[in-house]
């Protein structure tokens, strides 16, 4: 058969078309490879073996797909928040939860219907220290440890502002990253609540040491990088008569021996107060009139992928797993009331490390279930120095 010029032209374009189709079929894989390479470069992700990287790559691909599907629903108005990839997107959900979610309330810690003061003063506590495990000494229950004698009543409601942001007002330090090597969220939330209260007493805002809490509050029942309770952290600071600054005792993301330096102390408390449990109005009053509050949430599901908007998850429970710092609240025109939280997962999570969670929606994710804050005397520096001198 004689091949004409017309036949040659048709055959040539057929080959070109086949090449284009082959390229089109290959482009998604090529794009995925490029995204994976960019992810590793951006987050300096390194893996110990080929098998470990393969698992990380699989988690990355699954998370990437989940983010894309969720954001399609967000674009259709079916979700209240947007998700995105971050430095933890190479972890499978179960792996992420085991590494990052470290809040574990004491077995005897209950949710008080209303705060009640705890009567033991500091000298009584210290006199019982010898030969006694502090985790057993603390009589957890429907009570609040407030040895200073302050009544645990919530502040009066008054006329609350419709919007509050303690971070914008200069009462919150920079966002920290606990890293995937240490489930120390509870330590960062406790340190953040203390930072705000020290600032409210008129002192310069100064980052406090989460590592100090990780290493030194084990006698109170905390378990370092494994898990912990913010109230047990406050108890440690009270009995110890201080907490070091971050500069004095830097974060290491691992368990270590206690190296508290009395000369580097910058934070302290005189007890702590639990906010009325499961009561978002009480939490709002406290945040508005007291300052940043340590809280705990159910951080399972796709909370790790949150990027912006108001996080509401109908599958969330009040079985809390992760500590955050509630630094404010407000109302979004599209999505309604929200809590403003500071997380400890670095600045690639959420809105530069901050997030908005649904408020007044049946205590979604349990944010009002285990909220508490440290109480500080007005005569802070003088009394604190006296404590140190007598220690």
Instruction: With CA atoms as reference, report the closest residue to 241 among 38, 96, 385, 37.
Output: 385
Give Cβ neighbours of residue 263 (< 8 Å, ≥ 6 apart). Answer: 248
Place of tokens 């600032």: 199
Q: What angle do CA 267, 220, 149 make, to 5 degrees?
A: 60
Q: Catalytic one among 146, 182, 185, 225?
A: 185
Quick check: is 33 catalytic? no
Token representation of residue 45: 């992700």
Quick check: is 258 catalytic? no
Question: What does the H/E/C string look like for 159-211?
Answer: CCCCCEECCCCCCCCCCCECCCCCCCHHHHHHHHHHHHHHHHCCCCCCCECHH
Instruction: With CA atoms as reference, report the closest residue to 246 among 299, 283, 275, 207.
Output: 207
Quick check: is 185 catalytic? yes
How far apart, in whole angstroms, are the C-alpha atoms of residue 333 and residue 30? Answer: 40
Token representation of residue 67: 């983010």
308 φ/ψ angles, rounded to the nearest 5 degrees: -165, 175
Q: Give alpha helix (H) positions in 219-294.
A: 230-240, 280-289
Strand 306-311 relative to strand 354-358: parallel, antiparallel, unpaired? Answer: parallel
Give Cβ neighbours of residue 323 (< 8 Å, ≥ 6 apart). Answer: 102, 103, 185, 186, 188, 189, 190, 230, 294, 295, 296, 344
Q: Catalytic one among 63, 231, 300, 322?
A: 322
How far apart, in whole angstroms, are the C-alpha atoms of residue 309 and residue 80? Answer: 6
Give Cβ neighbours of residue 376 (< 8 Å, ≥ 6 apart). Answer: 197, 198, 200, 201, 268, 269, 270
Which residues form the catalytic set? 185, 322, 343
């Amino acid at each position: 058969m004689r091949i004409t010029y017309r036949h040659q032209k048709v055959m040539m374009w057929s080959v070109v078309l086949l090449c284009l189709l082959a390229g089109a079929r290959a482009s998604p894989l090529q794009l995925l490879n490029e995204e994976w390479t960019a992810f590793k470069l951006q987050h300096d992700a390194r893996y110990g073996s080929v098998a470990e990287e393969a698992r990380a790559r699989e988690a990355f691909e699954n998370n990437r797909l989940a983010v894309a599907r969720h954001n399609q629903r967000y674009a259709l108005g079916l979700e209240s928040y947007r998700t995105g990839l971050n430095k933890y997107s190479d972890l499978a959900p179960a792996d992420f939860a085991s590494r990052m979610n470290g809040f574990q309330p004491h077995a005897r810690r209950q949710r008080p219907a209303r705060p009640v003061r705890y009567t033991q003063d500091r000298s009584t506590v210290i006199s019982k220290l010898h030969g006694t495990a502090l985790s057993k000494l603390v009589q957890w229950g429907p009570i609040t440890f407030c040895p200073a004698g302050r009544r645990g009543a919530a502040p009066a409601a008054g006329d609350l502002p419709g919007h509050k942001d303690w971070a914008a007002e200069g009462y919150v330090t920079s966002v920290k990253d606990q890293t995937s090597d240490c489930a120390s969220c509870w330590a960062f939330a406790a340190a953040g609540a203390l930072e705000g209260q020290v600032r409210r007493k008129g002192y310069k805002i100064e980052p406090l040491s989460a590592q100090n809490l990780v290493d030194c509050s084990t006698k109170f029942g905390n378990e370092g990088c494994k898990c912990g309770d913010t109230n047990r952290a406050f108890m440690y600071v009270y009995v110890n008569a201080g907490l070091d600054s971050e500069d004095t005792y830097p974060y290491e993301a691992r368990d270590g021996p206690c190296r508290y330096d009395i000369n580097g102390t910058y934070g302290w408390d005189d007890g702590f107060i639990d906010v009325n449990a499961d009561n978002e109005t009480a939490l709002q009053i406290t945040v508005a009139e007291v300052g940043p509050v340590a809280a705990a949430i159910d951080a399972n599901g796709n909370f790790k992928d949150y990027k912006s908007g108001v996080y509401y998850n109908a599958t969330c429970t009040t079985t809390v797993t992760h500590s955050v710092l509630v630094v404010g609240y407000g109302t979004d025109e599209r999505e309604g009331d929200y809590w403003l939280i500071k997380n400890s997962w670095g600045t690639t999570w959420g809105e530069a490390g901050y997030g908005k969670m649904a408020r007044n929606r049946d205590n979604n994710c349990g944010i009002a279930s285990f909220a508490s804050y440290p109480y500080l005397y007005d005569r802070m520096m003088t009394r604190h120095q006296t404590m140190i001198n007598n220690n």
